[in-house]
Amino acid sequence: MSKKIAVLVGSLRKGSYSKQIAKNLMKLFPSDYEAKLVEIGNLPLYSEDIDTPESVPAEYTEFRDQIKDADGVLFVTPEYNRSIPGGLKNAIDVGSRPYGQSAWDKKPAAIVSVSPGAISGFGANHTLRQSLVFLNMPVLQQPEAYIGNVTNILDKDGNVAEGTVGFLQSIVDAYVELLNRY
């Protein structure tokens, strides 16, 4: 059975390490899974003042539809100030509205945090988990996916070192197992 995976990258930077890791992860899904990057950088900051039936931004509608159409969501994010980047938090807020119509509801999720440092985005990973629990998203528990010292595992073309592929595959395999339960 084919499944669609929405891939959200917390970093908006063009050469983002998180985006490079996300692209590597996307290649590891089974052939009957479609993993697709979903843009979050174009979303206006969430405000109920502009999220009305008369004036809802087209970007909100397009984003919500992409999330609703997905069978699951893979989050790949750096850590900003011991938390998640503002753009990712904004996307979570946009997808959770209007009240009672959350696009996130019951979508299985996996979180991979990425950092050039040794702490591996631990704070971002756990902060994001708090929001996803509230949004009623079953979240992959094991293996926990913290990728530290990312600059040591990416080559100039954005591919991960051979020794890291197995770890990334274990994340994807466990996530696929979770998805197949829903």
Q: Report pLDDT digits (tens) over 140-157.
A: 999 999 998 999 999 999
Domain hosting residue 160, numbered range: 3-179
CA distance from start to end of the chain? 12
Confidence of residue 120 (pLDDT cuts 50, 70, 90): confident
Kindly state the percentage of the chain with pLDDT values over 70. Answer: 99
Query: What is the number of structural domains in the chain?
Result: 1
pTM for the full model? 0.96
CATH number of the domain encompassing residue 21: 3.40.50.360
Please give the Cα distance from 148 to 150 (Å, whole number): 5
Please give the Cα distance from 180 to 138 (Å, whole number): 12
Check whether 127 has a pLDDT greater than 80: yes
Question: Which stretch of 38-42, 122-126, 166-170 has the lowest confidence by average pLDDT?
Answer: 122-126
pLDDT of 28-81, one tens digit each?
Answer: 999 999 999 999 999 999 999 999 999 999 999 999 999 999 999 999 999 999
Q: Are the C-beta atoms of 85 and 11 separated by less than 8 Å? A: yes
At residue 171, the 3 state secondary structure works out as helix
Mean pLDDT calculated for residue range 106-128: 92
Encode 144-169: b = buried (16+ Cβ within 10 Å), e = exposed.
ebbbbebeebbeeeeebeeebeeebe
Q: Are the C-beta atoms of 20 and 151 separated by less than 8 Å? A: no
- The per-residue pLDDT of the chain, averaged, comes to 95
Confidence of residue 1 (pLDDT cuts 50, 70, 90): low
Mean pLDDT calculated for residue range 162-171: 95
